[in-house]
A = this chain, B = another copy of it.
């Protein structure tokens, strides 16, 4: 009972406090934007005196930069879901799941990220030009390979990625609008499941795959129904 008794050494405390501040900052930046956020608001949200913030983060911009980089890491990590996949159905399906989960679990971070990019990426332009560009090219290559292998319809991989980003991120960035259109109530577990299913269904069909292959519990016996012939579209 000596080791786990005091696991909170100096460095741990510092890391903990920083994380606490970062969480408060993320929320305030998301709700007010960089310009609208004030150190005082963040301090209040974190329950600390303003001067203490400046002890851990020299400037407002430093704090903001840390918040943005944090969410960028998470955002980028969602790619892992796509890597391990054999084909487009699992790969893109898993990626959609991962990104929808990010929108749900990190709505503030998502908004901060959106805001940052919308305002011209003043603090992460270099990341866009290096990490993100590499990442994007890698995924495009993978998708192109799937297309060449005849595993999916020949769509422009770049615009497919944009659509994936847009469709999933929308549930965070425009969450307020969605909530309003949902009768003022936040999406329930069921709603989120339906959202995921809709997005996956639309996109997977959009790239020429028949049905949301993955988990699809309470709906119909798998494989028993096809809805490919939507009444030959009438046209």
Q: How far is the CB of A200 from chain B (nearest CB, A)?
A: 10
Q: Bound state CA distance, A110 and B205, in angstroms?
A: 28
Interface bits A75-113 vs B (CB < 8 Å: 1, else 0)? 000000000000101000000000000000000000100
In this complex, the interface size class of chain A, counting residues with CB under 8 Å from chain B, is 35 or more
State whether A176 touches B117 (Cβ < 8 A).
yes
Q: Interface SS of chain A: helix, strand, loop or mixed?
A: helix
State whether A119 touches B159 (Cβ < 8 A).
no
**From B32, B87, B133, B209, contact of A119 by CB (8 A):** B32
Interface bits A203-235 vs B (CB < 8 Å: 1, else 0)? 101111110010000000000001111111111
State whether A33 touches B162 (Cβ < 8 A).
no
State whether A118 touches B235 (Cβ < 8 A).
no
Interface 9-residue window, one of A5-13, A15-23, A51-59, A164-172? A164-172
Q: How far is the CB of A173 from chain B (nearest CB, A)?
A: 5
State whether A171 touches B180 (Cβ < 8 A).
no
* Interface: A48 (CB within 8 A): no
**Which of chain B's residues have a CB closer than 8 A to the CB of A148?**
234
* Interface: A39 (CB within 8 A): no
State whether A227 touches B208 (Cβ < 8 A).
yes
* Interface: A155 (CB within 8 A): yes
State whether B235 touches A180 (Cβ < 8 A).
no
Interface bits A146-175 vs B (CB < 8 Å: 1, else 0)? 011111111110111011011101110110
Q: Bound state CA distance, A145 and B135, in angstroms?
A: 41
* Interface: A70 (CB within 8 A): no
Q: Bound state CA distance, A171 and B32, in angstroms?
A: 23
**From B35, B125, B152, B178, contact of A33 by CB (8 A):** B35
State whether B231 touches A150 (Cβ < 8 A).
yes
Sorted nearest first, the 7 A-B pairs with minimum C-beta distance are A35-B36, A150-B231, A35-B35, A166-B170, A159-B198, A208-B230, A206-B206
Contacts beyond the supplied A132-B180, A153-B230, A154-B234: 12 A-B pairs with Cβ under 8 Å: A30-B118, A33-B35, A117-B173, A117-B176, A118-B174, A128-B180, A149-B231, A149-B234, A153-B233, A154-B233, A162-B171, A166-B174
